[in-house]
A and B are shown apart, each in its own frame.
Chain A
Amino acid sequence: MPAFRNALLASASLLLVSAGAADTLRRGAVAEPNSLDPQVVSGASSTIMRDLFTGLTSYDSAGRLIPGAAESWEISEDGLTYRFRLRENLKWSDGSPIAAKDFVYTLRRLLTPGNRTRFGSFFYSIRNGRRIMSGELDPTELGVRAEDERTFVIELQRPDPTLLEKLSNYAAAAMPQAVIEEHGRRWSRPGRVVTTGPYRLAEWVPQSYLKLEKNPHFYGADDIEIETVQYFPTTNAETAMRRFLAGDLEFLLTFPSDRMEWIEENLPGQLKIWPALGISYITFNNRKPPFDDVRVRRALTIAVDRQQIAERIMVVGVPVAYTMTPSVVSNYDNPVPDYARQPMPDRLAEARSLLEAAGYGPDRPLTFELRYEPPEENRRLAIALQAIWRDIGVNTELLFTDFGTLYRSVRTGDYTAARFTWFSPTDSPETFLFILESGSTTNYSGYHNAEFNRLITVAEAQLDRDARLATYRKAEAMALADYPVMPLYFMVHRNLVAPDIRGYTPNSRGMTATRYLHRVKQ
């Protein structure tokens, strides 16, 4: 049995190796990055990308906005001009200097059509941004310029209160023009890519792992304790969980929710759950029956006991949602509708009479199709909703599809009702309310309210934070009275972290940058 003996020896040496390499952190990644080009990569790999690239602004270990590549900035009184002062001795991971012109290149590249970039629409507020992206204008017309080596200026065409947050995105971090032009699509391979963040890319074996090592030229390199971090893409959540239990992975961004109870009992203190800037909601297609009738939308919305859903279906302890904007959004008082405070029997009675008024009853029950997508917990949710609505005489037909099919059907309006999730890139109500704005990309319900649209435009132009948030609140309350969509619960971050890993404060943005983490002796 020499093969088996070899196997035993190999596994023993594997254990020794992983015990010896104490400065390597082994993290799980939800998916293989679709690219390591920061402007091409999709949102799913943001933790990896933030380890590799740092924008003009950044976040601290508790998710608060702090200076990044820029040490300071000034905003003009009209809120239209941002002047950034770059740090002294700012360097790429190969040691060569980063200058203001690199940021000019970055934002132009991001908004140039044909570059396969994803986050261009974040920066439509920059002068001519949208027109460049749609090919009308040349990228040189973009409202960005380098005043000198260390001064970078952005000119907006409308005030954008979330610009500083959005500039922390890796897509707006300095991009190495020379490397990109030399290697084209393959510039982001190990050995070629140069980065600006706390780490640089050492190895990339697709579907196996990414190995990042500390970037000695990063401005904050002295404070970084974890020398090497490896990300292992694990598409199967159960496998990720087993690897965590075996000590093979030390930091998971998610875990199977049905293991919740077991984890709480057996891994005390390793589970971190806290509210995220995200919502799970049902979008009704307002453009066609039965959901073109506000009575039907209201009936279905008020009939669902959110507390039950949160406690019994979504075992991970999600906050209940009656509004689009999560309660965790800073400085915002979300306008909770009145029905939330009414007792359930009254709400069910009202739902029944609303359906009756809309022409539905035992002889002609309301029947519609609800679409939902993986993971498994959505199936439980869909079945629970089906049971709840059956109580008020509604037949819900469930249709399980993959992500692609679901997104395509809601985007083209070819659906009746669908469960959907939205995560906001910024700590503000605006992208949650875009879901209800006419013509917005994320308005899948087809809801149209001219006054709501007007209020959103007004709010966007308000520089005073409190006044702006008050306008958003007014707009949100107005739209919610039409029940265009049904908020269900707010999303949570759920991490599993090995007990000896410390250094971050759970935050709504879900920032868990490796640069702040450290290991304590157990």
Chain B
Amino acid sequence: MAEPSQGWRLPEEGGRRTASPEPPCYARAMLAFTLRRLAVAIPTLLAIATASFFLMRAAPGGPFDTEADLDPVVLENLYRAYGLDQPLLEQYWIYLANVLQGDFGPSLVYEDFNVTELIAIGLPVSARLGFTAMFVALLLGATCGIVAALRHNRLFDHATMTMAMTGIAIPSFVTAPILALFFGLYLKLLPVAGWNGGAAANMVLPVIALALPQLAIIARLMRGGMLEVLRANFVRTARAKGLPERQVVINHVLQSAAVPLVGYLGPALAGIMTGSLVIELIFDLPGVGRYFIQGALNRDYPLVMGIVIVYGTLIILLNLLSDLAYAALDPRVRRTYR
């Protein structure tokens, strides 16, 4: 099939990278935008650190209170050993100074480890789960959304969207145990829990449980975007000039329809990593989420703060990435970044 003449394309057609080359100031504008965002990130992180430091301290109880039978002298010694006997403001300054040097301090719950070591152990697990789940959700969700939009108001559309609504409505702490019971105990196909060094079999169920709600949201977003773009003028033009429907969809619709999805993906990826703490508990996975829960319950100030700061940074970076991707996809957005 011959490619029709390029001269027919309208400027607002979706701004593909292969479209007319950008003026040279584009790269510089993007760089300036990125730098500006990164500069704003520093006070944001500082505010996050400060707020979480004082909020943690405002919570009743202390790090060693769960060991109910500690002698007062023993307890006093423990507080001194960890510098918790200092005035609060002083502890805050010491903490900030240490964090700026990349030292999150010792954990108070896992006392043989530094917070940095614990995050280095847990984050790869959470990240691997999160990325895999997001990849699965994106692949299946986008496909479902596209097909549903193309079969608008037909059986496939209704079936997919009903399933998507169900997927969004059922929380993962319900699906996870059911998956474990069915595939683990009943069918005996997969392990019910455990990490086992990240073996594929151990990842299947947690990834499904994590991916399901995301998959549903992505399918709905993709379908919505598609339906909107399918009705747009440039698509009608493309059809009018005689392009086959397949080319209309692949060359013209998809890229524009994906724009709302890109905006969603950045925060969602950060969310799926933080949000996996329920999954980590139910499947006994050694991710950061479990440290976070244990840290919060046991008032492990440095551990909770460390995780909050790392997640804060992740969210800021992923948001920035998704904004940049936005700009790459949509010239209108790009213009506002100057």
Chain A residues in the interface with B (C-beta under 8 A): 3-4, 6-8, 10-11, 14, 31-32, 34-37, 40, 42-43, 113-118, 120-121, 124, 130, 133-134, 185-186, 188-189, 205-208, 232-236, 238-239, 242-243, 245-246, 248, 401-405, 407-409, 411, 420, 422, 441-442
The segment from B156-164, B179-187, B238-246, B262-270 found at the interface with A is: B179-187
What is the interface residue range for chain B against chain A? 35 or more
Interface residue B294 (Cβ < 8 Å from any Cβ of A): yes
Could you tell me if A8 and B290 are in contact, using CB atoms closer than 8 angstroms? no
* CA A401 to CA B59, docked complex, whole Å: 12
In the assembled complex, 17 residue pairs joining A and B whose CB atoms fall closer than 8 Å, in A order, are A14-B196, A32-B110, A113-B77, A115-B81, A118-B74, A121-B73, A186-B112, A206-B122, A236-B281, A236-B284, A238-B177, A245-B192, A403-B66, A404-B60, A404-B62, A408-B60, A408-B62
Could you tell me if B65 and A11 are in contact, using CB atoms closer than 8 angstroms? no
Of A34, A43, A189, chain B has the most CB atoms within 10 Å of the CB of A34
* CA A233 to CA B110, docked complex, whole Å: 13
Which of B70, B73, B193 is the one whose CB lies under 8 Å from A134? B73
Which of A114, A243, A441 is the one whose CB lies under 8 Å from B69? A441
* CA A124 to CA B298, docked complex, whole Å: 27
Residue in B closest to A235 when the chains form the complex, CB atoms = B281
Could you tell me if A246 and B185 are in contact, using CB atoms closer than 8 angstroms? yes
Interface residue B113 (Cβ < 8 Å from any Cβ of A): yes
Question: Which chain B residues border A401 with CB–CB below 8 Å?
Answer: 60
* CA A40 to CA B283, docked complex, whole Å: 29
Which of A34, A120, A234, A248 is the one whose CB lies under 8 Å from B110? A34
- Which residues in chain B, 192-249, are within 8 Å of chain A measured between CB atoms? 192-196, 199-201, 204
Could you tell me if B73 and A130 are in contact, using CB atoms closer than 8 angstroms? yes
Known: A35-B111, A117-B74, A408-B62. A235 touches B294 (CB 8 A): yes
Knowing that A236-B281, A405-B65 touch, tell me 14 more A-B residue pairs with CB under 8 angstroms: A7-B200, A34-B111, A114-B80, A115-B81, A120-B73, A185-B111, A235-B281, A242-B180, A242-B181, A248-B193, A401-B60, A404-B61, A404-B66, A405-B60
Question: Which chain B residues border A420 with CB–CB below 8 Å?
Answer: 68
Could you tell me if B193 and A35 are in contact, using CB atoms closer than 8 angstroms? no
Question: Which chain A residues border B189 with CB–CB below 8 Å?
Answer: 8, 11
- Distance between A204 CB and nearest chain B CB, rounded to angstroms: 9
Interface residue B14 (Cβ < 8 Å from any Cβ of A): no
Interface residue B105 (Cβ < 8 Å from any Cβ of A): no
Question: Which chain A residues border B71 with CB–CB below 8 Å?
Answer: 120-121, 124, 133, 441
Question: Which chain B residues border A40 with CB–CB below 8 Å?
Answer: 111-112
Residue in A closest to B204 when the chains form the complex, CB atoms = A7
Of B66, B113, B284, B287, chain A has the most CB atoms within 10 Å of the CB of B284
- Distance between A110 CB and nearest chain B CB, rounded to angstroms: 10
Which of B77, B201, B282, B287 is the one whose CB lies under 8 Å from A239? B282
Question: Which chain A residues border B194 with CB–CB below 8 Å?
Answer: 208, 232, 243, 248
- Distance between B85 CB and nearest chain A CB, rounded to angstroms: 12
Interface residue B252 (Cβ < 8 Å from any Cβ of A): no
- Distance between A362 CB and nearest chain B CB, rounded to angstroms: 35
Question: Which chain A residues border B112 with CB–CB below 8 Å?
Answer: 35-37, 40, 185-186, 188-189
Could you tell me if A11 and B66 are in contact, using CB atoms closer than 8 angstroms? no
Known: A40-B111, A232-B284. A405 touches B61 (CB 8 A): yes
Interface residue B94 (Cβ < 8 Å from any Cβ of A): no
Could you tell me if B190 and A407 are in contact, using CB atoms closer than 8 angstroms? no
- Distance between A246 CB and nearest chain B CB, rounded to angstroms: 5
- Distance between A184 CB and nearest chain B CB, rounded to angstroms: 10
Residue in A closest to B198 when the chains form the complex, CB atoms = A208
Could you tell me if A14 and B199 are in contact, using CB atoms closer than 8 angstroms? yes
Question: Which chain A residues border B193 with CB–CB below 8 Å?
Answer: 234, 239, 242-243, 248
Could you tell me if B283 and A248 are in contact, using CB atoms closer than 8 angstroms? no
Known: A242-B184, A404-B66, A441-B69. A14 touches B109 (CB 8 A): no
Question: Which chain A residues border B77 with CB–CB below 8 Å?
Answer: 113-117, 133
Known: A35-B110, A42-B67, A248-B192. A10 touches B284 (CB 8 A): no
Which of B73, B285, B297 is the one whose CB lies under 8 Å from A402? B297
Number of residue pairs across A and B with beta carbons under 8 Å? 175
Chain B residues in the interface with A (C-beta under 8 A): 59-62, 65-74, 77-78, 80-82, 106, 109-113, 118, 121-122, 177, 180-181, 184-185, 188-196, 199-201, 204, 281-287, 290-291, 293-294, 297-299
Known: A411-B65, A441-B70. A208 touches B286 (CB 8 A): yes
Question: Which chain B residues border A411 with CB–CB below 8 Å?
Answer: 65
Question: Which chain B residues border A407 with CB–CB below 8 Å?
Answer: 61, 65-66, 68
* CA A43 to CA B74, docked complex, whole Å: 14
Known: A133-B77, A186-B112, A243-B284. A207 touches B192 (CB 8 A): no
Question: Which chain A residues border B283 with CB–CB below 8 Å?
Answer: 239
* CA A6 to CA B200, docked complex, whole Å: 7
Could you tell me if B298 and A404 are in contact, using CB atoms closer than 8 angstroms? yes
Question: Which chain B residues border A10 with CB–CB below 8 Å?
Answer: 199-201
* CA A188 to CA B111, docked complex, whole Å: 10
Residue in A closest to B107 when the chains form the complex, CB atoms = A34
- Distance between A344 CB and nearest chain B CB, rounded to angstroms: 32
Known: A115-B81, A232-B194, A403-B297. A408 touches B61 (CB 8 A): yes
Which of B177, B191, B286 is the one whose CB lies under 8 Å from A206? B286
* CA A134 to CA B298, docked complex, whole Å: 25
Residue in B closest to A193 when the chains form the complex, CB atoms = B112
Could you tell me if A402 and B199 are in contact, using CB atoms closer than 8 angstroms? no
* CA A245 to CA B192, docked complex, whole Å: 9
Could you tell me if B80 and A113 are in contact, using CB atoms closer than 8 angstroms? yes
Residue in B closest to A28 when the chains form the complex, CB atoms = B284
Known: A116-B111, A133-B77, A185-B106. A243 touches B68 (CB 8 A): no
Question: Which chain A residues border B190 with CB–CB below 8 Å?
Answer: 7, 11
